[in-house]
Amino acid sequence: MATAAAAAAAAMEEPDVVNGRDVVSWVASGVVLWSTAFLLVRALFPKRSYDFCNRAVSTMHAVAAVCLACLSVDDWSCPVCPLAAASSPRQMKALAVTLAYMVYDAACCHLNGDTRLDNAVHHLVSIVGIGAGLAYQRCGTEMVASMLVTEMSSPLLHLREMLKELGVRDTELNLLVDVLFAATFSAARMGVGPYLTYVTVTADNPILIKAMATGLQLVSAYWFLRILRMVRYKLAVAGKKKPLPPPTTPPKLAAANNN
């Protein structure tokens, strides 16, 4: 986590001018960085699965993305101001880091045989949306805010799956992580998310940016429904596991025993 935070701080060194070549260089370097991180994790944990190592890298990215997003905010009294404005160098670099991760993660999932439709749509919407924002060099405020909202719950998402591989299953810790993940996801993506989508769609943004913002919110809504079902199931199972109180002796039987 310290490495991710250090990378986030280093990424905040702003160039005076941002051009297309700079952006391509950032994205290409980022893809190499995330791929190298994955190979290092695989080397450090050879007994762990492909998915476990990828989730470790995804957690690093989530921490870095949240740090970069926070460092990109100029005025915390209005973190989503100004709207439909030119992107700052900090915002563009933060978005380039996440775009590079999305390219890496899409390739990683493909190589692992993960062909789920919702995951593919998520990668497509994210890559096209962030790529369009970098190409237009606009909407940096909205897109960085969206990055903060979407990545906020990611560490808990990956932790709940990594715990299973570590052999920690059906415990109070698992239930706690599940509930915290569901609460964070719901508050961020279904609380703040619709507002961000609304301001992005109603502002003077390119139509492609508006479409991608809407698509990302629809994916979030779909995942939200699945998470609700998961939490209901986990709470129901946890309720059934509570020990029953000791049986009480009927009064008539107790009297007979006393005689």
Structure tokens at 215: 């698509």
Its pTM surpasses 0.85: no
Res 192: pLDDT? 95
Count CA within 13 A, CB hemisphere, residue 175: 12
Q: How confident is the model at residue 176 (pLDDT cuts 50, 70, 90)?
A: very high
Average pLDDT estimate for 138-164: 94
β-partners of residue 86 are 138
Instruction: Count other C-beta atoms under 10 Å from residue 71's C-beta.
Output: 16
Query: Is pLDDT above 80 for 43?
Result: yes
For tokens 């970069």, name the residue: 68
List Cβ neighbours of 68 (8 Å cut-off, separation of 6 or more): 8, 11, 12, 90, 93, 94, 97, 98, 144, 147
pLDDT of 254 reads: 44
Q: What is the token pair recorded at 193?
A: 């998310």
Residue 172 predicted with pLDDT over 50? yes
Residue 246 scores a pLDDT above 90: no
Q: Break the chain into its structural domains and give their ranges.
A: 20-239
Phi–psi pair at 228, nearest 5 degrees: -60, -45
